[in-house]
Amino acid sequence: MNYTSTRNHRVSLSSAQAIAKGISPEGGLFVPQRVPLFEEGELRELTGLGYRERAKRILAKYLTDFTAEEIGRCVEGAYAAGKFSSPEVAGLHTLEPGVEILELWRGPTCAFKDMALQLLPRLMTVSAEKTGSADKIAILVATSGDTGKAALEGFRDVPGTCILVFYPVDGVSPMQKLQMTTQEGSNVSACAIKGNFDDAQNGVKAIFTDKAFEQRLAARGISLSSANSINWGRLVPQIVYYVSAYCDMVAKGAVAAGGKINIVVPTGNFGNILAAYYAGLMGVPVHRFVCASNSNNVLTEFLQTGRYNRNRAFYTTSSPSMDILISSNLERLLYLLGDEDTLRVNQWMAELASAGSYDVGRELTRKIGERFSAGFCDDKGTAQTIREIFETRGYLCDTHTAVALNVYMNYRKESGDQTPALVASTANPFKFCASVLSALRPELAAGSEFEMIEALESFTGIDCPPQLMNLRGKEERFTGSCSVGEMPGVVEQFLQIV
Ligand SMILES: *Cc1c(COP(=O)(O)O)cnc(C)c1O
């Protein structure tokens, strides 16, 4: 099975080529030419397997040019015993009868991005081998926090790769910053940017599109790549955990075999919820997908009205990983639901680039409305939900998960829809300790990051994961910062090509 582009059907590449390239030359995103389907009884069979075995089976349907040995090697390495704090890798927690929380943050950096970024480097190096490239892969990342750390950890000491992360000097939480500045590994680096996330992202994009620079690197056997969620290699591992969660729900009796579920996802770049949609297309019985946003509610408006408009105020919220106005992966949904009409996708994306908005029209809006519901909640609602969920259910959730739970509770109240729900939980609450603590006990939310962690631990009786706690007093390796204009120089120095 080959991959094509959302903007050009003449593109046809193997999965290894799609993963190695990351993005199609005309700017489109790679999508499988057809979505593989589960056969009769296959979901039941998967229910009897563990996470890694399920992952191998599902990945094999998408990565048809990989051998079983290659997929096995990648999966066993990414989800090796001990890397994730629970044997089932991503496990369920019953919030109440009918509501299952899918805890995706049990990995090395305590955010759901580990699920994909532990596997991506392995898929990338195998893809490079398969496409005959002997180049060293240099990963450049602009991050607002979680992606940077998860990518550093994922690529750390992976042979044939190196990684440099840029983050906005004042745009990440103290914990996120510490996670990056203390990163271990011989092939990693991180640098603060005097600017915001957009500046960092624009700086990285400028380096990616600099043809002269690309040639200089090529002459030295280096090719640049991105760990951003537009890469198919980051999306496909996420399909796995939705299928796996459905199997687990059946196994624990939260849904009857073959029964439908709703999937609720706190959304930023639309990657995580799109993976859920793919799981549904493959045959996981899904009634509705509920897209939850914070005050940056561009997706809520789009899914409800068909009009995407990024010309709006940008809010810095307590769920920073969802502070985003351009949801890149939405392009794949438009392609899938818009009858794979690349012409129209091109048109919309051109309008987005030039005017900052587009309208997909009534017919497509109706089709979206058949599968998706959407809602948003502000910081006040997020804090209220954290408190309510802790006080009434004894469950501690982070700000992003709280947005999802808030939107879901409203959805259920308004629609009366009692379909069993699966709610994606995307970060460990200790990763956003200040916000979580001030939601529960505002008077305790003061002092250093680690004082607040101790306060949250003693108030809730829940332990902070050692991956975060062990950063206390750890040596900071990467304390440098630069202006946007200095970014190319930092890259040259890192790659030792000055
Ligand atoms: C990245 C992130 C999200 C948003 O995920 P998308 O795939 O971009 O929609 C939500 N929560 C957390 C904690 C994240 O790190």
Pocket mutation for ligand 1, best pick of 115, 300, 322, 376 (most atoms within 8 Å of C-beta):
322
| 200 band by pLDDT with thresholds 50, 70 and 90 | confident
- Expressed in angstroms and rounded, the spacing between residue 67 Cα and the centre of ligand 1 is 31
pLDDT digits (tens, 9 = 90+) for 411-457: 999 999 999 999 999 999 999 999 999 999 999 999 999 999 999 99
- Inter-axis angle of helices 271-282 and 232-251, nearest 10: 60
User: What is the position in ligand 1's atom list of the atom closest to the CA of 146?
Assistant: 15
Q: Is 210 part of a structural domain of the chain?
A: no
Given the DSSP bridges, would you call strands 136-142 and 161-168 parallel, antiparallel or unpaired? parallel
- Expressed in angstroms and rounded, the spacing between residue 272 Cα and the centre of ligand 1 is 7
Q: Is 339 part of a structural domain of the chain?
A: yes
Q: Is 389 part of a structural domain of the chain?
A: yes
> Among residues 28, 2, 32, 30, which one has the least CA distance to residue 14?
2
DSSP, residue by residue, 345-382: HHHHHHHHHHHSEEE-HHHHHHHHHHHEEEEE--HHHH
Q: How far apart are CA 314 and CA 236, in angstroms?
A: 30
When divided into structural domains, the chain yields a total of 1
pLDDT at 87: 85
Structure-token pair, residue 353: 């680039």
Burial of residue 369 (CB within 10 Å: 0-12, 13-18, 19+) is: middle
Structure-token pair, residue 403: 């947005």
Q: Is 320 part of a structural domain of the chain?
A: yes
- Expressed in angstroms and rounded, the spacing between residue 475 Cα and the centre of ligand 1 is 28
Note whether 444 and 457 are within 8 A (CB).
no
Pocket mutation for ligand 1, best pick of 269, 332, 333 (most atoms within 8 Å of C-beta):
269
- Expressed in angstroms and rounded, the spacing between residue 265 Cα and the centre of ligand 1 is 9
Q: Name every residue whose Cβ is closer than 8 Å to that of residue 373 and which is 6 or more positions away in sequence.
A: 288, 289, 290, 291, 303, 411, 415
pLDDT digits (tens, 9 = 90+) for 20-64: 988 888 889 999 999 999 999 999 999 999 999 999 999 999 999
Q: Is 283 part of a structural domain of the chain?
A: yes
Q: How far apart are CA 341 and CA 163, in angstroms?
A: 36
pLDDT digits (tens, 9 = 90+) for 146-156: 899 999 999 99
- Expressed in angstroms and rounded, the spacing between residue 366 Cα and the centre of ligand 1 is 26
- Expressed in angstroms and rounded, the spacing between residue 400 Cα and the centre of ligand 1 is 8
Structure-token pair, residue 246: 């459905």
| 479 band by pLDDT with thresholds 50, 70 and 90 | very high
Q: Is 123 part of a structural domain of the chain?
A: no
- Is pTM beyond 0.85 here? yes
Helix or strand (DSSP H, E) at 9: strand 8-13
- Expressed in angstroms and rounded, the spacing between residue 385 Cα and the centre of ligand 1 is 18
| 306 band by pLDDT with thresholds 50, 70 and 90 | very high
- Expressed in angstroms and rounded, the spacing between residue 147 Cα and the centre of ligand 1 is 9
| 172 band by pLDDT with thresholds 50, 70 and 90 | confident
| 222 band by pLDDT with thresholds 50, 70 and 90 | very high
User: What is the position in ligand 1's atom list of the atom closest to the CA of 275?
Assistant: 7
Domain with 338, as residue range(s), is 92-109+233-431
Q: Is 103 part of a structural domain of the chain?
A: yes
Q: Is the pLDDT of residue 471 over 80?
A: yes
Pocket mutation for ligand 1, best pick of 29, 400, 425 (most atoms within 8 Å of C-beta):
400
The CATH number of the domain holding residue 326 is 3.40.50.1100
* Three-state secondary-structure class, residue 291: strand
Of all protein residues, whose CA lies closest to atom 11 belonging to ligand 1?
Answer: 426
Q: Is 118 part of a structural domain of the chain?
A: no
- Average pLDDT score, the chain: 95
pLDDT at 115: 97
Burial of residue 177 (CB within 10 Å: 0-12, 13-18, 19+) is: buried
What percentage of the chain's residues is helix, strand, coil (to nearest 5)?
Answer: 50, 15, 35
Q: How far apart are CA 485 and CA 49, in angstroms?
A: 51
β-bridge partners, 424: 102
> Which residues surround ligand 1 with Cβ inside 6 Å?
111, 113, 146, 229, 266-272, 321-322, 400, 426-427
pLDDT digits (tens, 9 = 90+) for 366-399: 999 999 999 999 999 999 999 999 999 999 999 9
Note whether 165 and 156 are within 8 A (CB).
no
Pocket mutation for ligand 1, best pick of 146, 229, 265, 330 (most atoms within 8 Å of C-beta):
146
